[in-house]
Amino acid sequence: MLHALDGKTLLHQEASLASDAQLRRVHPQTYIDTLEAAIPASGGAAIDGDTWLSPGSMRAARRGVGGAIRGVDMVMEGAARNAFVATRPPGHHAESAQAMGFCLLGSIAAAAKHALDHHGLSRVAIVDFDVHHGNGTQDLVQGDARIAYLSSHQMPLFPGTGHPSETGIAGNVLNIALPAGTGSAGFRAAMTDSLLPAADAFAPELVLISAGFDAHAADPLANIALNEGDFAWITERLCDLADTHCAGRIVSCLEGGYDLHALAASAAAHVDVLIARGA
């Protein structure tokens, strides 16, 4: 489901199914074919201990990519100022030819490449505040200086990547490692001191967000102690960034979040800001 926000009006749209051609911007065809061939007729098939396929998995994953791309199209064409793509599975752990961490396809990286190739943009920023490092997104974009990948994440934690020394082909990757126990003040300071100035210096023509809400204090998979107010705060700051550089254009894609009550409240806080700032 895609929620495009035009002024105060929330437009609900069905996420499109991404085509093979759209997926090939970030994955080789052999990988796509291998995933399709591994889809079970019934029940589940394990890729690894975390990552499973069901009969509907590839359609769901294609909708994740297709929703992100459709969000980019709507925002670039002026049909909405911003959009929130509420799809699962998430995508930021999927590498070029390796599914992992619940993720099959690199949704937000594919959306960034689409914005560059289809809409002719020169600079797209991806801000990832999921509590896990987006090793997949980094793998897919670190060699493309037109994309800035800016991530804050708990470290050490799955997947083990995301050290600040990983900076991309042209300094276009910024990794901010947060120690376990980081709360609101530490998160906001890291954003204010490092991530937001780097994003501002990049001057993006479109802002994409990997919106994972598993840095919430209630989340069972990590040990960062954010609350709904922190997610509203970073959303406000990213709206400021987008207002400064790109007429407010934001496409936010759901990533992680595993305490369902915290996920719902945090996503609502995030979307409330997008609605208010989309006016």
Phi-psi map region of 47: left, alpha, beta (phi>0 left; psi -120 to 50 alpha): alpha
Smallest gap from residue 131 Cβ to Zn ion (A): 5
Q: Spell out, one character per residue from 103 to 132, where the chain touches Zn ion: x when CB under 5 A holds, - when not.
A: ---------------------------x-x
Q: Spell out, one character per residue from 184 to 223, where the chain touches Zn ion: x when CB under 5 A holds, - when not.
A: ----------------------------x-x---------
User: Considering the rule CB under 5 A, would residue 139 count as an interface residue with Zn ion?
Assistant: no
N- to C-terminal Cα separation, the chain = 21
148: Cα separation from own chain's centroid: 13
Q: Which is nearer to Zn ion, 72 or 103 (CB)?
A: 103
Smallest gap from residue 140 Cβ to Zn ion (A): 17
User: Considering the rule CB under 5 A, would residue 136 count as an interface residue with Zn ion?
Assistant: no
Active site residues: 93
Q: How many CB atoms lie within 10 A of CB 143?
A: 12
User: Considering the rule CB under 5 A, would residue 256 count as an interface residue with Zn ion?
Assistant: yes
Q: Which is nearer to Zn ion, 71 or 256 (CB)?
A: 256
Per DSSP, the three-state class of 11 is strand
One-letter-per-residue 3-state SS of 71-97: HHHHHHCCCCCEEEECCCCCCCCCECC
